[in-house]
């Protein structure tokens, strides 16, 4: 790829800004045009970028393109991952699926449902915690509403254990391996679900980006 400010999708070239030979000067309106088009490819013609989501998207795209100035303004730490919270149906999962395409040269993260992690644990046991705790870039979808884990009659807060492992990994790799997640729960509910120890690790792991509590359900 000679010019990282351009992305080819379905035979169409999208410009995300200007490339000066060293870095890309991104243009937010152009990024929105690209995300809208890519969203339709991924999720069908009904997909669209909503006007009321522009502020959230500005924060998220600033993070993914590593715009230091904007991230500083939004009090976001580029070293940490993203915890995207908001009500059911506001589009959190779609946005996280979409945004990993924005900077093709960055290592993409894999989306995995927390529910599926627990099902895997119930089948395979603690190997699952290792598999998701010690490798790769992940975005854990629907954090906090997964069922309880149970293996050979012993209960386990599986995602809580995975997050503790991810936190250790984050420190060991000097913040190179990040963790992202989406959740419908607020901070108090997350603490209730995972306990104070995990919650404090989550503060170190994540930048919290929150949709407005009144965000509409786009699935209706």
pTM of this structure:
0.91
pLDDT band at 220 (very low <50, low <70, confident <90, very high): low
- Domain assignment present for residue 25? The answer is no
Q: Domain span at residue 116? A: 78-210
Give the residues across from 12 on adjacent strands: 9
Helices (H), 44-157: 54-64, 68-73, 92-99, 114-124, 127-133
Quote the pLDDT of residue 80. Answer: 95
Is 77 within 8 Å of 140 (Cβ atoms)?
no
- Domain assignment present for residue 107? The answer is yes
CA distance 7 to 120: 36
Quote the pLDDT of residue 104. Answer: 77
- Domain assignment present for residue 26? The answer is no
- Domain assignment present for residue 50? The answer is no
Cα distance between the two ends of the chain:
40
Q: Taking 80 as the threshold, does the pLDDT of residue 218 lie above it?
A: no
Of all residues in the chain, what percent carry a pLDDT higher than 90? Answer: 57
Q: What angle do CA 74, 80, 81 make, to 5 degrees?
A: 95
CATH number of the domain to which 102 belongs: 3.40.50.300
pLDDT tens by residue, 43-65: 999 999 888 899 999 999 999 99
Quote the pLDDT of residue 1. Answer: 47
- Domain assignment present for residue 63? The answer is no
- Domain assignment present for residue 8? The answer is no
- Domain assignment present for residue 120? The answer is yes
pLDDT tens by residue, 60-80: 999 999 989 999 999 999 999
Of 65, 91, 51, 102, nearest to 211 by C-alpha is 91
Of 70, 48, 52, nearest to 60 by C-alpha is 70
Q: Which residues are CB-contacts of 94 (< 8 A; sequence separation ≥ 6)?
A: 39, 42, 43, 47
How many domains does the chain contain in total? 1
- Domain assignment present for residue 110? The answer is yes
């Amino acid at each position: 790829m000679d010019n990282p400010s351009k992305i080819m999708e379905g035979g169409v070239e999208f410009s995300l800004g200007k490339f000066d030979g060293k870095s890309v000067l991104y243009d937010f309106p152009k990024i929105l045009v690209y995300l809208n088009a890519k969203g339709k490819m991924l999720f069908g013609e009904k997909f669209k970028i909503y006007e009321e989501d522009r502020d959230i998207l500005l924060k998220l795209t600033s993070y993914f393109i590593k715009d230091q100035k904007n991230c500083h303004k939004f009090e976001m730490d580029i070293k940490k991952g993203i915890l995207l919270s908001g009500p059911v149906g506001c589009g959190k999962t779609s946005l996280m699926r979409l945004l990993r395409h924005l900077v093709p040269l960055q290592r993409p993260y894999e989306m995995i449902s927390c529910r599926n992690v627990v099902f895997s644990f119930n089948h395979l046991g603690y190997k699952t915690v290792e598999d998701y705790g010690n490798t790769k870039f992940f975005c854990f979808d629907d954090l906090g509403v997964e069922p309880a884990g149970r293996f050979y009659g012993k209960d386990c807060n599986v995602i809580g254990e995975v997050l503790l492992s991810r936190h250790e990994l984050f420190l060991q790799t000097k913040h190179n391996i990040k963790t992202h997640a989406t959740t419908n729960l607020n901070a108090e509910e997350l603490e209730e679900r995972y306990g104070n120890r995990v919650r404090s690790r989550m503060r170190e792991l994540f930048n919290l980006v929150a949709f407005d509590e009144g965000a509409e359900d786009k699935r209706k």
